C-alpha cells in the first residue's frame, strides 16, 4: 500500500511539473506576442518580427530567424 501511495505521489509531481513548464512557455509566448504587436504598432524596429508562429510551415520566427519544429519530438514527452 505504501509503495502505491509513493508512486501516485511521484506521478502527481511529474504532472504538476509538466503543467508548470507548459504554463510558463505559454505565458512567455503570450508576452512575446504582446511585445511584438506593440513594437509593430509603434514602429520601433526595422525588422519588427520578434516572435511569429507559423503552424502551416511548422516554423517559428524568433528575433528575425526562422526555426523549424519537429512536432514528433514533443509527442514523446506529452501524454
What would the pLDDT profile of 23-44 be if each residue is shown by its tens digit? 998 998 888 888 878 877 887 7
Q: What is the pLDDT of residue 27?
A: 93
Please identify every stretch of the chain with a pLDDT value under 50, giving residue numbers as ranges.
none
Q: What is the pLDDT of residue 37?
A: 82
Which pTM does this prediction carry? 0.58
The span from the CA of 44 to the CA of 73, in Å, is: 36
Query: ∠ at Cα 60 (56, 66), nearest 5°?
Result: 110
The span from the CA of 67 to the CA of 73, in Å, is: 14
Amino acid at each position: 500500500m505504501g509503495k502505491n501511495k509513493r508512486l501516485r505521489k511521484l506521478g502527481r509531481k511529474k504532472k504538476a511539473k509538466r503543467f508548470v513548464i507548459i504554463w510558463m512557455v505559454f505565458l512567455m509566448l503570450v508576452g512575446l506576442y504582446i511585445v511584438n504587436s506593440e513594437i509593430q504598432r509603434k514602429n520601433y524596429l526595422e525588422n519588427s518580427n520578434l516572435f511569429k508562429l507559423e503552424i502551416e510551415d511548422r516554423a517559428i520566427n524568433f528575433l528575425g530567424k526562422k526555426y523549424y519544429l519537429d512536432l514528433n519530438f514533443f509527442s514523446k514527452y506529452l501524454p
